Amino acid sequence: MSKTPDSGKAEDDEPSTVEQYLVKDPERFALNMARMIEQAGKAAAAWAEPREKGDVRDHVAEPVVDMVKTFSKLSEYWLSDPQRALEAQTRLFSGYMTVWANAIQRISADGQDTDDAVKPERGDKRFQDPEWGRNAFFDFLKQAYLVTSRWAAELVDHADGLDEHTRHKAGFYVKQVSNAISPSNFILTNPELFRETIASNGENLVRGMKMLAEDIAAGKGDLKLRQADYSPFEIGKNLATTPGKVVGRSDVAEILQYDPATETVFKRPLLICPPWINKFYILDLNPQKSFIRWAVEQGHTVFVISWINPDERHGTKSWEAYIREGLQYGLDTIEKATGEREVNAIGYCVGGTLLAAALALMAQEGDDRIKSATFFTTQVDFTHAGDLKVFVDEEQVAAVEKSMSEKGYLDGTKMATAFNMLRSGDLIWPYVVNNYMRGKDPLPFDLLYWNADSTRMGAANHSFYLRNCYLENNLSQGMMELAGRMISLGDITIPIYNLASKEDHIAPALSVFLGSKYFGGEVEYVMAGSGHIAGVVNPPAAQKYHYWTGGKPIGDFDQWAAKATDHPGSWWPHWQRWIEARDNTRVPARKPGKHMKTLGDAPGTYVRVRV
């Protein structure tokens, strides 16, 4: 059985039959519908109970209001000019007429194939079932949906009167609505779901509603969408398994030191500052994917900051606290553990933004312990920030701050949902369909386990980040105030390795490139293939993707990319050579605990706290 990849039409398939959509055992089907309703009642109870107790307060109104305001501005542009409105309506009507004409032609020609009015985008997996092409009803639904969603997206693209932020938000909201209303998401309009429901007499829906109730209960009243089978995974057992010790613990961070794997190591230890928006073990998922283990095997004495999963006690911890009690505490711990003052540092995502701000502050304060800095997909200038910027304007930030003020933190599920919404077509709706309609358990996947292991956001810390970076762009403009000082990235004169990812939607390669010019010293800009995670976590043994190197990161980004040298495989060895070129001095390997008491085995206790 074969089908064309773009249209969803089948070649050499048997014609669609009505029998596969007819209930064979009405009594059993009716019984399962009753069982499904029972499970749906449990899901409703799991949602309602924490609200009745006052444990959950909904803030649904704020995003809905923002969406309505955004669509109102979009509508105003198109309706303010009758000619413009007529042209838009004509385009939609023309698309519908083409769909209708195709349907009539197929019926009159006994199912003969016709060209679709619009084809799914390359890589769209929603319409792969042959029935989307050979069944006139489902084919009509598919084409009508694609015509409508494509038309709506074009309304945003062609709305010249919108400011860039409103256009960005409008495109985001249109995409969310389009993904939500896809006929692939509903039983009666998805041929595969329809057939499975009939074939199992509705048992798939019983299982699905049971899973829905479990996921709402797991989210304590909010849906905690399961994206994988999490049961096979355990932190410290088959995740985050690189051997090491906890050598320091503050109110906001544990400092981990890893056991050496070589007889000699670089004189300069390596301190990794991961994001606190999620947990550090993305860099230590398993031995094959672990950047931490690989760095140890190259001869680095690796220290990692494992951030606290904050609660109400940490609501007032500011960025300065994260610098003093996290980064600088890590440097102090390294000096006690190894006797070394000079350190190489890595910052990932927002951890890199914090590292950049800390380096600027430390330059003013005379703290010169960090001798080179590497940034993984890090933004220091937010002019061209990624898709997360759709959530940031004064009204939305104020709403988040109001929500955080109640407990001193933002629930981890809120951030997880925001990240999932950026790719809702991949990270939300396929799992809604698979879990709650097909009633199938998702497969085990370590990356998705990590993705679901969300962290809370401390109120003061998160508010400072949203306002100073996304909203006001103070860091690159020399307007960020820390410890009573106005800091400047120009004061950072140490060598910088600035890694971007080509397909990153959170820290776009363009944004990272433009941020390079604000540093005061030498910057090596490297662009990895793939996205925010896979572009970074790309071990050499996998022989995947590419990376690009070129001249200094100045001028036009597209011109830099066009002239850049393309290298197959991982950028990790390139970074290793860059580090060695700065200082290749070696010393005997250092074991954790030789000069100070350890506090337990890596990965420590902070990383195990779940929300």
The mean per-residue pLDDT over the stretch 235-239 comes to 96
Residue pair 454/277 in contact (Cβ under 8 Å)? The answer is: no
Q: Which tops the pLDDT comparison, 572 or 95?
A: 572
The HSE-up count of residue 398 (CA atoms within 13 Å, CB side) is 5
Mean pLDDT rounded to a whole number for the chain = 92
**Quick check: 7 pLDDT over 70?**
no
Q: What is the pLDDT of residues 476-492, one digit of tens each?
A: 999 999 999 999 999 99
pLDDT at 260: 98
Integer-rounded Cα radius of gyration of the chain: 27
Residue pair 333/261 in contact (Cβ under 8 Å)? The answer is: no
Report CA torsion sign: 472, 475, 480, 486: negative
Residue pair 276/448 in contact (Cβ under 8 Å)? The answer is: no
The mean per-residue pLDDT over the stretch 245-268 comes to 98
DSSP-derived secondary structure letter, 484: T
Q: Which of the four pLDDT bands, split at 50, 70 and 90, describes residue 61? A: low
Q: Which of the four pLDDT bands, split at 50, 70 and 90, describes residue 244? A: very high
CA–CA separation, 215 and 232 (whole Å) = 18
Q: What is the pLDDT of residues 106-115, one digit of tens each?
A: 777 655 566 7
Q: What is the pLDDT of residues 140-161, one digit of tens each?
A: 999 999 999 999 999 999 888 8
Residue 35's nearest CA partner among 213, 215, 218 is 213
pLDDT at 8: 45
Residue 453's nearest CA partner among 307, 319, 330 is 307
Q: How many CB atoms lie within 10 A of CB 61?
A: 9
Q: What is the pTM of this model?
A: 0.90
pLDDT at 55: 81
Residue pair 388/470 in contact (Cβ under 8 Å)? The answer is: yes
The mean per-residue pLDDT over the stretch 591-605 comes to 95
Query: Under the phi-then-psi rule, with left for phi > 0, alpha for psi from -120 to 50, and beta for the rest, what region is 364?
Result: alpha
**Quick check: 411 pLDDT over 90?**
no
CATH topology of domain 244-386+458-608: Rossmann fold (3.40.50)
Q: Reply yes or no on whether 349 is catalytic.
A: yes
The mean per-residue pLDDT over the stretch 278-305 comes to 97
Is residue 53 classed exposed, middle or buried when 0-12, 13-18 and 19+ CB atoms within 10 A define those classes?
exposed
Report CA torsion sign: 188, 189, 193, 198: positive
pLDDT at 15: 59
pLDDT at 236: 96
Domain range summary for the chain, segments of one domain joined by +? 21-219, 244-386+458-608
pLDDT at 16: 65
CA–CA separation, 370 and 269 (whole Å) = 10
Q: Which tops the pLDDT comparison, 406 or 204?
A: 204
Residue pair 386/508 in contact (Cβ under 8 Å)? The answer is: yes
DSSP-derived secondary structure letter, 120: P
Catalytic residue chosen out of the listed positions 74, 156, 323, 349: 349
**Quick check: 290 pLDDT over 80?**
yes
The share of the chain scoring above pLDDT 90, in percent, equals 75
Q: What is the pLDDT of residues 316-327, one digit of tens each?
A: 999 999 999 999
Residue 278's nearest CA partner among 505, 499, 509, 447 is 447
Q: What is the pLDDT of residues 523-550, one digit of tens each?
A: 999 999 999 999 999 999 999 999 999 9
| The two structure tokens encoding residue 567 | 């290298």
**Quick check: 597 pLDDT over 60?**
yes
